[in-house]
Amino acid sequence: MSCRTVVFISGRGSNLKALLANQRHFSVECVLSNREDAAGLMFADAQGIPTFTAPRDAFNSVREQKSALYKKTEELQPDLILLAGYMQIIDADFIHQYENRILNIHPSLLPAFPGLEPHRKAIESGAQDHGCTVHLVTPEVDSGPLLAQMSCEIRQEETEDSLASRVLELEHQLYPWVVNAIAGKELIYHADGRLESSDALKKEATERKITIAP
């Protein structure tokens, strides 16, 4: 049976597109958004994927707005929740309800440069390498257990835009790979913090220049 996922987005949905194009061991049951003008919703509609929106101005409070998204998620009973450019902080109660089942991709080599503007921070810091990280979501923003990373060298003439573009290409490779690995039981995060991966996955990671977290 395929692993059932839902995807949370707030914008263009480029990682959503990558996920939909690389479904091997998982299915996307619904795309949810806190913005009804999120461009990724139109792409999901075109692919026949159900969508659900809860824009802030349709509710009396942020709490009510978030509750609508959470309630819809509970109705769908997903195996995994995938954050893909979702720009709202997830409440701790919801995270605990789906502990170790909410994934996010962040455009830096965490724990370096969490939060906003990671590309600018990387360039200004003089870092030699940059990249992206798939991690489990915890109440502390961008602080959950790391699953895998891909990296690229920061070039001498690098701009924030050029670096963001190159890292985005890595994101599109890494996120579906990790989700498929988890859905296919080749990458397993244990409650005690151990990350177990199959020999075949380790070999594939090496070939793809992916670093599985220790």
Which residues are marked as active site? 106
What the block records as the tokens of 134 is 């798939």
Name the residue with tokens 């195996």.
Answer: 79
Residue with tokens 């985005």: 168
Between β-strands 211-212 and 146-153, what pairing exists: parallel, antiparallel or unpaired? antiparallel
CA-CA distances (angstroms) from residue 127 to 14, 124, 170, 171, 213? 26, 8, 18, 19, 20
- Identify which of 114, 118, 68, 63 has the alpha carbon closest to the alpha carbon of residue 92: 63
Read off the tokens for 70. 């959470």
Q: Are 49 and 30 in contact (CB under 8 A)?
A: yes
Contacts of 78 (CB under 8 A, 6+ apart): 4, 5, 6, 29, 101
At 33, give phi and psi (nearest 5°). -145, 150
